[in-house]
Amino acid sequence: MNIIGIIPARFGSTRFEGKPLAKIGNKTMIEWTYIHAKKSNLLSDVIVATDHQKIFDEVKSFGGRVVMTKSTHETGTDRLIEAVSHFPDSEIILNIQGDEPLIEKELIDGVIENKLKYRNYEMSTAITIMQKNEYNDPNRVKVIFDKKEKAIYFSRAFIPSNFKKEKEIYKHIGIYAYEKNFLMQYNSLPKSDLEESESLEQLRAIENGYSIGVFKASVAGLSVDTKEDLEKVILEFKKRNLI
């Protein structure tokens, strides 16, 4: 099976411009993400999809595979779809966030295995148990799912409410595996009211009647949204003796 991992990496960011080129030790964040993604046992290939020549040149410099995409894409999914057009033989597409330089192969392979287990689900993603100090943070997306590992809903609000019985709360990890044919028609789906209300793109699939499988990960990697996040990641790299 031809399973392609694509890392969307754009240069512009309101909170951290040029983020993929930020240095962690003697390597850039995009190189670390690429290195760790390549450790997967199930990916046939890993490709960076970027909108900027500096990122393109950086990936080429460390021997990675990279494609140039338009700078006008509104979302990472839009960039992913354009990149996939370069790989017509691909069957399953994994969208790997470019701001998770410590991404674990267990996370990548777990999401892929979930997708292979449920081929009738159009997408798969990852979740992990949420810490209590994250419960009220709208940037930590909560998810509820059924007994067949299918997502019911994603929200920035606290779900379930634990009104009568307390249960573990799960948060979403932003990594997706798609059936290629579904991905290529994703942008033709009408934007949903739920998507716009929550500002969560995956709700478009659910509200239009499609299924998202969930893989329960033991841990969630550190993502980099701000320069302050980068400092935390650098400390974690040092703790693991990676730099």
Residue 121 placed within a domain? yes
Looking up residue 140, the CATH number of its domain turns out to be 3.90.550.10
The pair of three-digit structure tokens given for residue 233, joined into one six-digit string: 């990641």
Instruction: State pLDDT tens for residues 93-107.
Output: 999 988 899 999 999
Decide if 183 is inside a domain: yes
Task: Encode pLDDT of 197-219 as tens digits.
Answer: 999 999 999 999 999 999 999 87
Residue 23 CA to residue 186 CA, distance in Å, equals 34
Q: Taken in order 220, 105, 147, 1, is the CA torsion positive or negative?
A: positive
Q: Are 17 and 24 in contact (CB under 8 A)?
A: no
Assess whether 67 and 130 both reside in one domain: no
Is 92 found in the same domain as 2?
yes
Q: Tell me if 138 is assigned to some domain.
A: yes
Section 150-166 average pLDDT: 94
Answer yes or no: do 55 and 108 share one domain.
Answer: no
Q: What is the pLDDT of residue 161?
A: 92
Run of H or E including 53: helix 53-61
Cis omega (within 30 of 0) for bond into 160: yes
User: Same structural domain for residues 56 and 113?
Assistant: no
Range of the domain at 173: 104-220
The whole-number average pLDDT for the span 59-79 is 90
Residue 149 shares a structural domain with residue 81? no
Do 95 and 111 fall into the same domain?
Answer: no
Q: Is residue 232 part of a domain?
A: no
Count of the separate structural domains present in the chain: 2
- Is the same domain home to 90 and 121? no
